A and B are shown apart, each in its own frame.
Chain A
Amino acid sequence: MKELDPLVFLAVFQEMLGPLLWVLILLIVLGTLAFVGLLLKEKTINSRRLVRAELAGLVGGGLALVLMAKVSSSGFTDAGGPADWFLIALVFGLGLAGTAILVYTFMGWRKPVGQ
């Protein structure tokens, strides 16, 4: 057997998401750049903003689970074992982290500290 090729994953994602894949990749790249840029500019983490972003992240995690249920024609209530709990935690956690970072970044650039 040959080694698995990352291109296979790319091909599968492309089939799954269509043009949305590139929109998401763009969002990820721009979001990351904006986040890193914000950190470099402010040289600090604004805890007040962070708490708000984390609260938004909770909603994001919930939305990620709802979205997952929709696209998989099933839901986390169908969990049957440890691998499922891991998947639920992963989906929720990634939804939370992704949303929190994006919200923190958005808030930071829209209304910088001290303004």
Chain B
Amino acid sequence: MYKNALDKILDDTGKKTLDRRSFLMLGAAGAGSLLLAPGGAQAASRIKSSARIVIAGAGAAGLAAASHLANKLDGAKITLIDARKEHFYQPGFTLVASGIKQSPYVVSTTREYVPGGVELVEERVVEFDPEGNKVVTESGKPYPYDFLIVATGLKLDYEAIPGMDVEQIGNNGLGSIYHSPAKAEATWRAMSNFADTGGVGVFQRPGTEMKCAGAPLKYTFVTDDYLRRRGNRGKAEIIYNANNKALFSVPIVHEKVRMLFEERGVKVNYERVLESIDLGKKLAVFKTPIGPVELQYDFINVIPPMRAPDSVRNSPLPWQEGGWAKDGWIEVEKHNLRHKRYDNVFAVGDVAGVPKGKTAASVKWQVPVAVDHLVASIAGKESEAVYNGYTSCPLITRLGQAMLIEFDYKDNLTPSFPGVIAPLEELWISLVMKTMALKPTYISMLRGRA
């Protein structure tokens, strides 16, 4: 498919006399939409239905699901429930924390993406009752459903790190890129100060599943590059602490990152999970196989454990056994996102208990599959749509360059442009896709148009 698509782009480019600005955007946008989009316009004919569909959570996954459902169904009562009025373009957080973009770049409003005919309830779901086919919001109001899509996202569990105080992000060498746009910007200030002075930079990732597992690596690379550009790399030590024995879950990518870290002089510790932190003393304590290990830092990027939100964890929806039960990820069939025990429930996005990728690219590929199965159920048919675990990660390796890594459940690399854009090569074009094309593609995805 991709080869055909590329041929088509080149073909189209040749045929049309495009202005230079659209010319230079063409490649990037085309590539970006390939990264995020499984392709395909909406089904031409809409299915008539009076089904009540509740979508819990209006982030990337919830909004995309609402748009796809609204496109496919005629007459269904679709209710989107989320208390947060702001919408965050989370793939941009690392750019904000790297001083490449300002925080308004990642902030918009939920309401502007809500499709016509879909009701937005600005409340939080506090209870899931899949036996009774209803959810209950914080005001106590029940929302009965025929089908439920859980897209609540996840919880950044800062409280699980004793000593951590999110209010202090940006001060005293404490950074945390995931917390919020404002804290991503505060993290940039703290990292920039560190790049001016040098010292010990400590980087880590949590021992849980996490969204965008490339981000901790990216931020390590970017910090290294700022230190070099400001002539202070010699005054700094950079330590990356992996939670297990790998830097990345895909073995071939792990090897590449290991080589790059070695080349850049980044010291790597394996099997270290941040256990507690003393912000005053700038001391981080890690859990290791040989007992607690202390690390003194001048700058640290804290990435907290990530878990399903409490409302999901306290419901019957999570995995009942296995590694994902503890953190409450929802028990879904990984190829179609349908709940394994409740036929009329789907989970998409971060909260889904599937092996790979809690990213926007995963959402883009999951949502059409889940929606296809849901709509097929309404129509009394079987869907053949399959999600193969595809996700992508433009892994920034220095300012101005990234590796365009795409992979699936099987740890296969699935490059969109084989032979043109090598997945394990540090390239400007890969960064161009990240900075230029991904956000427009993401927004199109929210609107159900990509």
Contact = CB atoms under 8 A, between A and B. Distances in A.
B400 A8 contact: no
Contacts of B32: 12
B1 interface: yes
A4 B5 contact: yes
B1 A28 contact: no
Given A73-B100, A74-B431, A11 B420 contact: no
A24 B30 contact: no
Given A4-B5, A75-B428, A91-B20, 12 more contacts: A1-B1, A3-B39, A27-B19, A28-B16, A32-B17, A64-B21, A64-B24, A72-B432, A78-B431, A80-B401, A83-B420, A90-B24
Contacts of A32: 17
A15 B39 CA distance: 17
Nearest to A5: B41
B8 A4 contact: yes
7 contacts: A5-B39, A8-B449, A9-B29, A27-B19, A73-B435, A86-B420, A95-B23
Interface in B405-442: 417, 420-422, 425-429, 431-432, 435-437, 439-441
Contacts of A98: 17-20, 23
Interface in B1-26: 1, 4-5, 8, 16-25
B234 interface: no
Contacts of B306: none
Contacts of A73: 95, 100-101, 435
Given A4-B34, A17-B25, A78 B100 contact: no
Contacts of B428: 74-76, 78-80, 84, 87
B17 A31 contact: yes
A111 B3 CA distance: 46
Contact of B436 (A16, A20, A64): A16
Dominant SS among interface residues on chain A: helix
A71 B436 contact: yes
A94 interface: yes
B40 interface: yes
A4 B38 CA distance: 7
Interface in A31-80: 31-32, 35, 60, 63-64, 67-68, 71-80
A94 B27 CA distance: 12
A16 B29 contact: yes
B30 A9 contact: yes
Nearest to B397: A80
Given A13-B25, A60-B20, A7 B449 contact: yes
Interface residues of B, number: 54
B22 A13 contact: yes
A84 B428 CA distance: 6
B440 A77 contact: no
A64 B26 CA distance: 13
B384 to A, nearest CB: 11
B274 interface: no
A114 interface: no
A1 B422 contact: no
B425 A67 contact: no
A74 B426 CA distance: 14
Among A31, A84, A99, find the residue whose CB has the most chain B CB atoms closer than 10 A.
A84
A4 B25 contact: no
B443 interface: yes
A19 interface: no
A94 to B, nearest CB: 4
B440 A16 contact: yes
A53 B248 CA distance: 52
B95 to A, nearest CB: 8
Interface string A88-101: 00110011001101
B22 A95 contact: no
Contacts of A15: 439-441, 443-444
B450 interface: yes
Contacts of B17: 28, 31-32, 35, 98, 101
A80 to B, nearest CB: 5
Contacts of A79: 427-428
A16 B421 CA distance: 22
A84 B433 CA distance: 12
A31 B450 contact: no
Task: Point out which of A20, A78, A98 has the most chain B C-beta atoms below 10 A from its C-beta.
Answer: A78
